[in-house]
Structure 1
Amino acid sequence: MRFIIQRDRLVQSVQDVMKAVTSRTTIPILTGIKIVATSEGVTLTGSDSDISIESFIPKEEAGDEIAEIKQTGSIVLQAKFFSEIVKKLPTDSVEIHVENQLQTVIRSGKSEFKLNGLDAEEYPLLPQITEENIIKIPTDLLKAMIRQTVFSVSTSETRPILTGVNWRVENGELTCIATDSHRLALRKARIETEIAEHYNVVIPGKSLNELSKILDDTNELVEIVITENQVLFKAKHLLFFSRLLEGNYPDTSRLIPTESKTDVVVNTKDFLHAIDRASLLAREGRNNVVKFTTNEDEVIEISSNTPEIGHVVEELQSQSIEGEELKISFSAKFMIDALKTLEGSEIKISFTGAMRPFVIRPINDNSILQLILPVRTY
C-alpha cells in the first residue's frame, strides 16, 4: 500500500475515527486505526465494538486532488501514535507506504516515521446493515435533538437502559426521551421517512455524544438506518455505527403531568442567571438545592441556604403567575441544564404541587419539554 494525501484531510479523518477507539478493550487490534487504500480513495476505521466510525477521504473532490493512490492495500496502525504523528507532521502532504512485514513508513517533508503495523485482515468487520427503511433528518436538527435530551441520561449502571436515549419513530415523527429518574428531557420533530414501521429503540448516550461532536453544523440530511441491535448514521463521507441497548425503556408518558395547579411564565435568560447566582452558595451543600417561592405582585423568590456558608435571596419579576401559591425546592444544576436547552425568550413552568414533578416548556412550542422532580426540604 502506498499513497500521498493532504495532511489536513488525514488529520480530520483520524480525529473523527479516534472517537471510537479506546485503550480499554479486550481485543488488542481495536486499539488501532484501520487504513484501506482503494482506487477511489482512503478509508479510515476506528471501533471499540460498541461504536464504529468509518471516514472516507475521496481521491478528489470538486476538482481538487486530495489523495494520490500509488498502490492499493490495507494496514492497522496504533491509533495513539499514528494520531499524534499526523497532527505534528511538518508539511501539507503525507506519504504513507507499507513495506514488507507490515512496517509502515510515514513521510512528510524531511520527517520520516516507521511504525509497526498489524494485519488488517484480523480487524473485525463492521456490522453489515441492509439499507432499507431509511429515516432522513437535517444534521443541525439531529444535533439539537441530541443536545436537548442526552444530558438527562443516567450515569449509573444500576439500570443500564437509562444510560441511553429512547428513540421512537411513529407516523413521520421522531421522539427522543432521556431520563435518569430524577429528571426527564423530551424532544420531538417531524422527519422524512417512507417507512410505515414503528421503531422504539434505545441508543447509548455516549454514542450520541460522540456522533454530535463529529457532525458538522449543516442542514444536509443524515440518513439513519435502525436494525434489531444496531443503528447506522450516514453523513457525507462518514459512517457511524452504534449498538443499541437491550431491554425495554420504561413508559415515561405516565410521568408527565397533564394538568397543573400553578403556572409561571418567566424570561428564560433572567431566570437562568438568577438560579445560577442562587446556586453559588448551594454547591457545597447537599445536591445543590435552591428554593422557589411565589409571592404577591407576580414576584418569584429564589433562595438558597447552606448553614455553614451563608444565605442568598434573589427576587425576580415574572411575566405571570396563575393558580395556587407555591413553595418548592429543586436541584439548581438540573434546572440550569434544562434551561440551557430551551430555545425562546420566555418559558412556562407548570407545577402540580410541592412534591410533584414539574414541567418546563418554551412558550408556544410543544416540541420540547423538560421535567424535574423536586427535592424534599421542608
Structure 2
Amino acid sequence: MKFEIMRDRLLDGLNDVTKAISSKTTIPILTGIKIDVTDNGVLLTGSDADITIQTFIPAEENGDQIINIIETGSIVLQARMFNEIVRKLPTNDVEIEVENEFQTHIRSGKTEFHLIGSDASEYPLLPKIDDENKFEIPADLLKAVIRETVFAVATSESRPVLTGVNWIIENDELICVATDSHRLARRKVKLENLPTDVDSIVIPGKSLNELNKILDETSNPVQIIMSNQQILFKTDHVLFFSRLLEGNYPDTSRLIPTEFKTNITLDGKTLLQAIDRASLVAREDRNNVVRFETLEDNAVKISSNSPEIGKVEEQIPVHSIDGDELVISFSAKYMMEALKAIDGQGQEVIVQFTGAMRPFILRQVNDDSILQLILPVRTY
C-alpha cells in the first residue's frame, strides 16, 4: 500500500473519525484507525463498538488531485500516535507506505516516521443497515433538534434507556423526547417521507453529542437510515453509525399536563438573567434551588437563600399572569437549560403551572414544537 496525500485533508478526516475512538475500549484493535486505500480514494474508519465513524477522502475533487494512489491496500494504525504524527509533520505533502507485513513509513519533507501497524482484516465489519427506512433532514435543523433535547438525558446508568433520546415517528412528525425523570425536553418536527416500519428508537445521548460536532462542518441535508439496532447518519463524505439503546422508553406523553391553574407570559431573556443571578447564591448551596413567586401588578419575585452565604431577591415584570397565585421552587440549572433550549433569548415565553408540587412546562408563546417540562423541588 502506498499513497501521497495533502496533510490538511488527511487531518480533517482524522478529526472526524477519532471522535469515535475510546482509549477505554476492551477490543485492542479499536484503539486504531483503519485506512483503506482504493483506486477512488482513502477511507478512514474509527469505532468504539457503540459509535462508528467513516469518512472518505476522494482522490480527485472538482478537478484537483488530492491523493496520488500508487498501490491500494489496508492497514490499522494506532489512532492517538498517528493523529499526533500527522498534526506535527513539517509540510503539507505526506507519503504513507506499508511494506513487509505491517511496517508503515510516514514521510513529509525530510521527516520520516516508522510505525508498526495491525492487520486490517481483524478490524470489525461495519453494521449492515437496510436503507428502506430512510429520510432526510436539513443539517441545521438536526443540530437544533439535538441541542434542544440531548441536555435532558440521564447521566446515571441506573436506567440505561434514559441516557438516550427517544425518537418517535407519528404520521408525518418526528417527535424527540429526553428525560432524566426530573425534567423533560420534547421537540416536534414535521418531515416528509418518514419511515413506516420503525416507529420508536432510543439514540444514546453520547452519540448525538459526537454527531453534533461533525454537523458543524456541513450545511447539506443529512440522510438518516434507521433499523431496530442501529442508526446511520450520512453527511457529505462522512458515515456516522450508532448502536441504539435497548429497552422500552417510558410513555412520557402522559407526564405532560394539558390543564393549567396559572399561566405566566414574560420575556425569556429577562427570566434567564434573573435566575442566573439568583443561582449565584443557590449554586453555593447543595440544592441549587431558586424560589419563584407571583406578585400583584404583573410581576414575579425570584429569590434564593443559603444559610451559609446569604440571600438574593429580585422582582421582574411579566407581560401577563392568568389564574391562581403561586409559590414554587425549582432547580436553577434545569430552568436555565430549559430556557436556552427553547431559545428564550429575547423571545416571549409562557410558563404554565398546575400547582406548587406538580410539573410545569415552558414553551415559546406562538410555538409549541419545543416544550420543556420541569419537576419542582420540595423545600420544606
TM-score (norm 2): 0.97
In 1, the alpha carbon distance for the partners of 2:85 and 2:308 equals 51
Q: Which amino acid aligns with 2:370?
A: I
In 2, the alpha carbon distance for the partners of 1:324 and 1:22 equals 52
In 2, the alpha carbon distance for the partners of 1:260 and 1:90 equals 65
- What does 1:175-190 align with in structure 2 at a 5 Å threshold? 175-190=175-190
- What does 1:111-260 align with in structure 2 at a 5 Å threshold? 111-193=111-193, 195-216=195-216, 218-260=218-260
In 2, the alpha carbon distance for the partners of 1:353 and 1:319 equals 20
In 2, the alpha carbon distance for the partners of 1:346 and 1:125 equals 50
Q: Secondary structure at the match of 1:369?
A: strand
In 2, the alpha carbon distance for the partners of 1:292 and 1:240 equals 43
* Range that drifts further, 323-332 or 94-103: 94-103
In 1, the alpha carbon distance for the partners of 2:123 and 2:276 equals 49
1:373 corresponds to = 375
2:325 corresponds to = 325
* Range that drifts further, 186-195 or 97-106: 186-195
Q: Secondary structure at the match of 2:207?
A: helix
Give per-residue Cα distances to partners, 1:258-317, cap 9 Å, x unaligned.
Answer: 011111111111111110000001112122000000101111100000011010011110
* Range that drifts further, 203-212 or 166-175: 166-175
Q: Which amino acid aligns with 1:349?
A: V
Report percent identity of matched pairs.
64
Q: Which amino acid aligns with 1:95?
A: E
Give per-residue Cα distances to partners, 1:307-336, cap 9 Å, x unaligned.
Answer: 110100111101111111100000000011
For the Cα contact (< 8 Å) 1:281–1:309, is it kept in 2? yes
1:195 Cα shift?
3.4
1:14 corresponds to = 14
For the Cα contact (< 8 Å) 1:139–1:217, is it kept in 2? no
Root-mean-square deviation over aligned CA pairs? 1.1
Q: Which amino acid aligns with 2:216?
A: D
For the Cα contact (< 8 Å) 1:290–1:329, is it kept in 2? yes
For the Cα contact (< 8 Å) 1:300–1:318, is it kept in 2? yes
1:218 Cα shift?
4.5
1:88 corresponds to = 88
In 1, the alpha carbon distance for the partners of 2:218 and 2:8 equals 20
Structure 2 unmatched ranges of 5 or more:
none
Q: Which amino acid aligns with 2:29?
A: I
For the Cα contact (< 8 Å) 2:169–2:194, is it kept in 1? no
The structure-2 alpha-carbon separation of the partners of 1:116 and 1:218, relative to structure 1 and needing over 3 Å to count, comes to closer
For the Cα contact (< 8 Å) 1:146–1:212, is it kept in 2? yes
The structure-2 alpha-carbon separation of the partners of 1:130 and 1:340, relative to structure 1 and needing over 3 Å to count, comes to same
Q: Which amino acid aligns with 1:211?
A: L
Matched, 1:38 2:32: no
1:353 corresponds to = 355
Give per-residue Cα distances to partners, 1:211-236, cap 9 Å, x unaligned.
Answer: 01111365421111111111111111
* Range that drifts further, 123-132 or 336-345: 336-345
Q: Which amino acid aligns with 1:5?
A: I
In 2, the alpha carbon distance for the partners of 1:266 and 1:194 equals 36
For the Cα contact (< 8 Å) 2:146–2:212, is it kept in 1? yes
For the Cα contact (< 8 Å) 2:5–2:68, is it kept in 1? yes
For the Cα contact (< 8 Å) 1:136–1:221, is it kept in 2? yes
1:177 Cα shift?
0.1
Structure 1 unmatched ranges of 5 or more:
none
In 2, the alpha carbon distance for the partners of 1:233 and 1:179 equals 23
In 2, the alpha carbon distance for the partners of 1:218 and 1:45 equals 19
For the Cα contact (< 8 Å) 2:35–2:43, is it kept in 1? yes
- What does 1:299-314 align with in structure 2 at a 5 Å threshold? 299-314=299-314
In 1, the alpha carbon distance for the partners of 2:218 and 2:259 equals 38
For the Cα contact (< 8 Å) 1:291–1:327, is it kept in 2? yes
Give per-residue Cα distances to partners, 1:34-68, cap 9 Å, x unaligned.
Answer: 00000010000000100000010011111221111
In 2, the alpha carbon distance for the partners of 1:346 and 1:38 equals 55
For the Cα contact (< 8 Å) 2:137–2:222, is it kept in 1? yes
Q: Which amino acid aligns with 1:179?
A: T
For the Cα contact (< 8 Å) 2:218–2:235, is it kept in 1? no
Q: Which amino acid aligns with 2:195?
A: I
1:62 corresponds to = 62
